[in-house]
Amino acid sequence: MIIEKDGHQVKLSKLGGAITEWSYRGKEILFPRGEVVVRGEKKIRGGMHACFPNFGPVAKEFGLPQHGPLRDIEGVETNGDSVLFINNGLLRNLGSKFCQVVTRVAVSGQAITYFLTASLELPGKNFRINPGMHPY
């Protein structure tokens, strides 16, 4: 989806709720998202995505990839400025009964704001999250 306001143009993808492009008054701010080959393996580079529930690697016992699984999950567009993820396998391997994540972009003046909101239900478990943003 494309969000245009106050000279900004922001492209928000349903895949991971990532910002794939951002320009201000026709000038690109982020390197656009695309595929590159790194050591013979295709990797996505560019743009900016949320790392949820973890930024970086975690202990193998949690079964989560580096930078979390959110960036590889397809969400549903809502309100023209946000992407919703509900029980998309984000935390099922940890016994989660419910996990909802929303990513949203707001444009105001010379800035954009990227929001990540999460609701989790992990009965009987303490689970800390370490989300982050991964710009390229």
CB of 44 within 8 A of CB of 73? no
**What is the model's pTM?**
0.84
Range of the domain at 43: 2-135
The count of domains in the chain is: 1
Q: How far apart are CA 56 and CA 67, in angstroms?
A: 5
CATH classification at residue 27: 2.70.98.10
Instruction: Flag whether pLDDT at 83 surpasses 70.
Output: yes
Instruction: Flag whether pLDDT at 134 surpasses 90.
Output: no
- Sign of the Cα pseudo-torsion (1, 47, 70, 54, in order): negative
**Residue 92's pLDDT band (cuts 50, 70, 90):** low
Distance spanning both ends of the chain, measured CA to CA: 20
**Residue 76's pLDDT band (cuts 50, 70, 90):** very high
With pLDDT > 70 as the criterion, what percentage of the chain qualifies? 95
pLDDT recorded at residue 17: 94
**Residue 87's pLDDT band (cuts 50, 70, 90):** confident
Side-chain half-sphere CA neighbours of 81 within 13 A: 12
Q: How far apart are CA 27 and CA 7, in angstroms?
A: 10
Instruction: Flag whether pLDDT at 133 surpasses 80.
Output: yes
With pLDDT > 90 as the criterion, what percentage of the chain qualifies? 47
Instruction: Flag whether pLDDT at 64 surpasses 90.
Output: no
What is the per-residue pLDDT across 48-61, written as a single tens digit (0 to 9) for each?
999 999 999 988 88
Q: Which two tokens stand for residue 11?
A: 């492209």
